[in-house]
Structure 1
Amino acid sequence: MMLYVIVPWCALFTFTQQATSAEKCVCELTNSEEAFPHDTLSTMEDNASKCNSEITSQKTLELESLLLGLERRLPQLQDDVSVLEKEDDGGLYGVLSLQVIENEIMDIKQLIDKLNSTTLGHQLLTIETTKQLENLKAEMQELEKYDTMQVVKRQQANQRLKRELNQCRNGLHSTIQPTQPQHGNCPHGQFLNITGPRVYTAGEYPGSYKYGAWGRDPKPEAGKESWYWLVMMTSSNRYSHYVRLYSSLSSLIVGVSIPGNVLIHSSNPTTNTIQGPNVVMYGEALYYNCYNQDAVCRFNLSTKTVTTLQLPKGTRFNSKGNFCHLDECYPYTDLDLATDESGVWVIYTTSQDFGNLVLSKVEEGEQLMLGQTWHTSVYKLGVTNTFIACGVLYVTRFVNKDVEEIFYSFDTVTGEEKFNIGVFISKMAPNIYALNYSPVDQMLHAYCDSYMVSYKVLFG
């Protein structure tokens, strides 16, 4: 009787009863179904994981960045050629203009070559991935025959019902979707990439001053929209007491400073002169770390007056909280000043924050004031530089002597931190001692071992 109870529940199996003795009964169990191919399923999982690792959003972003870079380079080249055709300077800057145009053409050629190789690589990857997906689909359909309880079919039916239910709900509460994605408060769009370098020059003091900074004033006086500024650490690679001005990029490249030096003080260093290379200019005023103080100085170029802003107690200064990488720390880089579309910022670290980066807004006015402050979770001694674009702090680290990586960002609007930015900067010298973003033309100005280099920031 026991045998007749078991058989209906085990219809997939065949039982054979053998009587070996009066006391013992032995049953042989024979599986009438094929064994499930676990090895095949494991191989399919490995192939699917490989596809996921090869097809990433970063590859699409790389192609989009190259196209965007080419789209912006061509009009710039056309404008420069038009200027060259019209200008009549007696041959003074003609050779220089031709050299700039030649460099731009070489840059565009390299961009096109990279675009062609990237497109070809994507086409080959698409063909290979299509084949793999077709094979995976066929193998999955083959495995479905082992689903004798029709679990997969029921799951698919449930998913289909859920989709139809969601469509029904959305139809009752439909809203008009925006035609363009939102990009927060940035007028240029979302930060995509860094391309370049666009400018690479030793200026008028080739190899003389290892540390320094340069850039443009985002809020210049009328008539000075095309001016550039330069600050070099002229004493012990740590201190300076003047800012040098140039009326154009060509003037800076050939080393012709008609305005000359604007002195903060005749001595160097002394009270309220410049300490460290991380300086910026905004609204005809130079912002920098005051000599021997945990404070920000603002030097007004018109009135030749200095205003100071005391930073919070515990702020590290005098080379106690520098930018560093494994092989080197950059002396007296405790305070980093930055500009973006909204004004001036100061990036520093404090004992209370255990060496993590702190970001504060510098409020303009007759008296300097410290505005809103944000605390990050990135350790300053592990990074090499920072800059700010559209209220977002970007942090770089040293990869090798040829590459710097933008690896971290902090959004002051949302408070969101990202440690996986993964944008790489091609360096012309091993160390970037100062990095300034210019909202005037969306350029990134780097001072690298006495060389001035600029990169284009791509938004989209």
Structure 2
Amino acid sequence: MSRCNIFILMIIIPLAFFQSVRGKDCVCDLKNSDPAFPEQKLTKVETISAQCIGSITSERMTDLDRLLLGLQQRIKQLEDNVLMLEKEDDRNLYGAVSVRIIELEFAEIQDLLNKLNMTTNDYHHLNVQTVAQLEDMKDTMAELEKFDNMLVIKKDRENQRVKRDLEQCKNELKVTLPPPTVPPGRCGLGQMVSVVGPRTYSITVYSTSYPYGAWGRDAKPAPGDENKYWLVVLTSSNVYGYYVRQYSTLSTLLLGIGPKDTYISSSNPTTNTIQGSNMVMYANALYYNCYYTYSVCQFNLTTRAVSTVALPSDTGYNSKFPFAHLGTTYSYTDLDFATDESGVYVIYATTSNFGNVVISKIETSNPPVLGQTWKTSLYKTTATNTFMVCGVLYATRYLDKETEQIFYSYDTKTKEERFDLKINIKKMQTNIEFLNYDPRDHLLYVYSDAYILTYEIIFQ
């Protein structure tokens, strides 16, 4: 129910006293130096407010939902009857009766549509009228507030603001359960307590031209490649990439010295093009979302061969279930890839799981195959990124331009879910387009609005 708030005004009237003496009697003249309070305006606002409350009720607001639900059910019934007619029509009495039933259903659907149009028009008129009334009341209350000489309303607003700040502070100080502790037998790490940094913060040789990309180290490098770093920048419409750039050390990457480019294809987009900024390197192979499909691509950097494995057919792709927050959507991030101590995972969402996150282990054979799968209750578009540590999925969300927060976890071993984590990451740029954990150095590798960063995870 929408409510129109009425402020109570405390009016202090400046008075002037004039004293005169008439014989032995003392006579005082009382004069008001301020204009008279427009009581009739306040009464009008109160009346309109009461009418507003009476005209906009929760019962009325559900009329539209009921009509839409009824229309949806009737259309479904009509579809079923038409299918039955097509299947069992004997061109005789049965067909004639079925056609008549369908005609009656058409008439009922038309009646529902007429009611829906009428209700929609009524709501539109009510919305326009209410907006005008609220604007009028707002202007009137601003005029009446001028009579509040003791600033009661202003002080009340300040008090309300202080109360909200105190309540927020109390909520932040409330003790929450600690993040899940990874059993030592699994990878020897304890509870994640914080993320510090950035330890690395630099622009790439591409400057700020391309805000979407990814970078990091091979989570399972070949002997002699332990110090190599890879970089992929989406140089085509911030959506596609078609080559991997490698550097011998972190210093050469930061300075842009001696890169080695390995091309997947000669241009964008093709069947094997990288789509989206989520990808990882594992055992000299790049794992990423194949162009315009719900498939995982495995690109071998030595042989330049591409192998694929398809995800379930109802997997969201092409920005159906991307990472997002209220301010923006990270396009083409339906498939996210992560590495941890045990290998490679793909994180995605399916319609059968209602748009919630699904985790699948990727067996890194050639071609790759999907291993064990876990379904979560985290709606994918409420998160901005995910990563894995010791078999535990973590999800982040956008708090503001300076802060990203790890708020969720799912333990693939115990199937325990947590939505109450509050581990903040200090951002240097507004958006984080790529985030992955490296099990070799326990760092988070981040690509943020064309900048590359690393953060250190602190375990208890």
Q: Distance in 2 between matches of 1:253 and 1:221?
A: 23
Paired residue type of 1:303: T
Structure 2 matches for 1:219-368, cutoff 5 A?
219-258=220-259, 260-368=260-368
Change (3 A) 1:365 1:56: same
Aligned to 1:442: 442
Change (3 A) 1:444 1:51: closer
Question: Do 2:182 and 2:390's aligned partners in 1 also have CA atoms closer than 8 Å?
Answer: no
Q: Distance in 2 between matches of 1:314 and 1:411?
A: 24
Aligned to 1:199: 200
Deviation at 1:319, TM superposition (A): 1.2
Deviation at 1:364, TM superposition (A): 1.7
Q: Where does structure 2 lack aligned partners over 5 or more consecutive residues?
A: 1-168
User: Residue 250 of structure 1: SS of its match in structure 2?
Assistant: helix
Q: Where does structure 1 lack aligned partners over 5 or more consecutive residues?
A: 1-49, 63-179
Larger mean CA deviation between 277-286 and 216-225 belongs to: 216-225
Q: Distance in 2 between matches of 1:449 and 1:219?
A: 27
Change (3 A) 1:182 1:262: closer
Q: Distance in 2 between matches of 1:313 and 1:181?
A: 33
Aligned to 1:385: 385
Paired residue type of 2:403: V
Q: CA RMSD in A?
A: 2.2
Change (3 A) 1:368 1:54: closer
Question: Do 2:219 and 2:283's aligned partners in 1 also have CA atoms closer than 8 Å?
Answer: yes
Structure 2 matches for 1:48-447, cutoff 5 A?
56=175, 182-183=183-184, 185-258=186-259, 260-447=260-447
User: Residue 278 of structure 1: SS of its match in structure 2?
Assistant: strand
Q: Deviations over 1:188-237 (max 9, x none)?
A: 22222111000000021110211001111011111110111101101000
Deviation at 1:183, TM superposition (A): 3.8
Change (3 A) 1:302 1:418: same
Change (3 A) 1:315 1:419: same
Aligned to 1:25: none
Question: Do 1:244 and 1:257's aligned partners in 2 also have CA atoms closer than 8 Å?
Answer: no
Deviation at 1:367, TM superposition (A): 2.1
Q: Distance in 2 between matches of 1:228 and 1:363?
A: 23
Q: Deviations over 1:101-151 (max 9, x none)?
A: xxxxxxxxxxxxxxxxxxxxxxxxxxxxxxxxxxxxxxxxxxxxxxxxxxx
Question: Do 2:298 and 2:307's aligned partners in 1 also have CA atoms closer than 8 Å?
Answer: yes
User: Residue 251 of structure 1: SS of its match in structure 2?
Assistant: helix
Aligned to 2:453: 453
Q: Distance in 2 between matches of 1:406 and 1:343?
A: 22
Deviation at 1:459, TM superposition (A): 1.5
Identity, % of aligned positions = 53
Question: Do 2:182 and 2:189's aligned partners in 1 also have CA atoms closer than 8 Å?
Answer: no
Aligned to 2:159: none
Deviation at 1:51, TM superposition (A): 11
Q: TM-score, normalised by structure 1?
A: 0.61
Aligned to 1:128: none
Q: Deviations over 1:13-57 (max 9, x none)?
A: xxxxxxxxxxxxxxxxxxxxxxxxxxxxxxxxxxxxx99996847
User: Residue 304 of structure 1: SS of its match in structure 2?
Assistant: coil
Q: Deviations over 1:140-167 (max 9, x none)?
A: xxxxxxxxxxxxxxxxxxxxxxxxxxxx
Paired residue type of 2:219: P
User: Residue 187 of structure 2: SS of its match in structure 1?
Assistant: coil
Change (3 A) 1:266 1:54: closer
Paired residue type of 1:378: L
Deviation at 1:412, TM superposition (A): 0.3
Paired residue type of 2:231: L
Change (3 A) 1:57 1:308: closer
Deviation at 1:184, TM superposition (A): 5.3
Paired residue type of 1:356: N
Q: Distance in 1 between matches of 2:296 and 2:229?
A: 22
Paired residue type of 2:376: T
Deviation at 1:274, TM superposition (A): 0.2
Q: Distance in 2 between matches of 1:195 and 1:310?
A: 37
Deviation at 1:331, TM superposition (A): 0.5
Paired residue type of 1:244: R
User: Residue 400 of structure 1: SS of its match in structure 2?
Assistant: coil
